[in-house]
Every structure is written in C-alpha cells, then in structure tokens.
A = this chain, B = another copy of it.
Amino acid sequence: MAGNKTTALSLGILGPGLIGATLLDQLRDQAPNLKEHFRIDLRVVGIASSKIMFLDESAVDLSKWRLEYNDRGTETDLRSFISHLQQDHFGPNKAIVDCTASADVAEHYLEWLKLGIHIITPNKRANSGPLEKPFLGESCPLRIALSEVCFAWLFSLSYTDMEMIVKFTSSVRLTAGTLSYIFNNLTGDRTFSDVVKEAKAKGYTEPDPRDDLSGTDVARKVVILAREAGLKLELHDIPVHSLVPQELQDPKLSVEDFMKRLPDFDEALSSRRKEAESSDEVLRYVGVVDVLNNRGSVELKRIPKSDAFAQLNGSDNIIAFKTARYNENRLIVRGPGAGAAVTAGGVFSDILKLTSNLGAPS
C-alpha cells in the first residue's frame, strides 16, 4: 500500500530490445490499472538504445512508443538522457531501468545513484564485476533491484529481500536460464547437440550458444549471490565447468561451424548421462554458493531423481536456500526462467516494489 496519495515515478528505459520492448508493452497495458487501483503513476520519460534515444517532456505515449522512438528519436547522448530524467517532471522519484547487458552502462550506476536515481536492472554485469568497483554498499541509500539474479521471476528478490534471505544462509543452489532448459529437456534418446539446436531455434540461447554453454552467465549469478551473502568472491574465483568442448572454444570458429561440429562431442555427455541414469540420477548444471566454506562453483552434477532439481520441466529454473532454519527441508522457488515476457515481468515487479517503498510512510 502506498498510502492515500499517488506515488509518481519517472522512468528512463535503456535498451528497448527484446526485454526492454516487452517491458514497455507491459507498462502500456498495466499503467492505467496501476494508476486507478494502486495510485502508482509510472511515466516513461525517455527510451534509449546505444544509438537512438527519444525523450518526452510529458511522458511517452506508450500506445505508440515504437513509432515515436523510430520517427522522432535522436542520436543517443547518455548525459542529456540523464539530465532530462533529472528534471522535475512528475515529482522527485526517478529510476533508470537498464535492460541492456552492457558493462559500459553498468559503469555509470554509481554516478547515477549519487544523483538520486534508482536503478532497476536484469543486467548482471554490474554486481559481478571487479570488487574494487563496488556500487552497492551500506552507504548507498538507493535501491538497486537485481531481477536477473533470481531469474526472470515475479518473485524476483530486491536487494532488501536479499538481505533477509541470504545473510542468514549457509548455501544457495540454483539452475538457470538456457542451461536449465537444456538439461530439463535432455531426456529419452535426445542428444546434447540436438537440444542445444532446439534451444537456439526457440531463441533461448544467445546468438552464439557458446556464450551460454561456457557457464559464465551462471557464474555471474553465483558471484552476485555470494557477494550478497557477504563473501568477497571474484568471477575468476568460481571454478566453472564449461560445456563447450575445448576443440570448439576458438572464437574464430563461426557459430555455424560450431553447431555443425557439436554432435561429434555428444558421446562424452551421453555416457555421463547413462552412468547417472543407471543410479537413478539425472544431470543438472548447478551453481552453488557455499557460504560456510566461502566458495562458489558451477558444475555439471548428478542429482537423484527424487530431488527437486531433477523434477524440472521445460524452461523451469529453480533456486534452493539452505539456512539454519531451512535445513532439513530447503526453501525452494521454482518457475519458468526464460523468455522475454517473464524476464520483463520480473523487472516490472521490481519497479512496483520500488514504488511501494517510495510511498511508505515514515
């Protein structure tokens, strides 16, 4: 509840690509309802990609944002984008929603926070970067929501929730995104390369599937969660089991050639899988934050079929918290973890959480 008064929030959306565009459409569909029933007034005052930006004094008409953006957009200048957002259009509350995956954009977070701008983002670059450049800390009064850490879920954790959950945690295990999809679907007589091909066709992988299969994405999540739990881990501290065969890691190898040669390596994984199956287990690609032993890892693990991690379907992701209190039975959240609608939904949920906190009485 945000109280009797309406809480307004001016939003600058960076990266109107697949996720950003879906978010803009979700905002378009929900904004009238939010205003009427929840007294939350969300207004997009600017949209920018790395090339084009569109600013509007009176909030972008979201029913035709694509048209406006394409017809009236000018060359992107982040500085003027920010100073436009800073103007007192609709009250003091401002947020950048960073839907890019850009490290360059993440470089600016600290600067923007200092200007009093909240940041909401599924961009994992920021908080898994080098520790000497922290931008989250006890001195930061602003909210940064880390949707992507906990995947594309409505239950996405804000930094505040994270404090509560992770600080008391002894371990966190997770599966994530593309790799969860791949191993959930590696059943029957399907081969690894076959499922990778399918995931690529469905748009679940990066254009180059090696970006997923390398495990770096999962490792970033492990680093972010580990840091939330108070561990000082860097990305290079996390041993990562890459699923890209060494022979195919050469960046000069084209995506096409990679996909063509991948079936040659199916046998190795197939035999691991058969081995697992003969003990009533399945293979899962799992990230682990081991708080007690101060380490993280990203591994291809054998999981008993009776375990919740083995019982995933489709694009389901899962995260399990083991704590002093949730010990014998873990606390488990499971849900669809891929696709633009669901990811944008997580970001949307973080925007609402931010708004609700802005409006809290004090």
Contact = CB atoms under 8 A, between A and B. Distances in A.
A84 interface: no
A140 B3 CA distance: 6
A165 interface: yes
B315 A329 contact: yes
Contacts of A140: 1
A329 B349 contact: no
A319 to B, nearest CB: 10
A331 B323 CA distance: 22
Contact of A352 (B164, B321, B353): B164
A2 to B, nearest CB: 8
A362 B38 CA distance: 17
Interface residues of A, number: 57
A201 interface: no
Given A1-B141, A311-B311, A362-B360, A334 B335 contact: no
Given A141-B361, A360-B362, A332 B334 contact: yes
A336 B341 contact: no
Contacts of A165: 154-155
A241 interface: no
Contact of A163 (B138, B143, B335, B352): B352
Given A356-B357, A358-B360, 7 more contacts: A38-B163, A154-B323, A155-B331, A326-B336, A326-B342, A357-B360, A358-B362
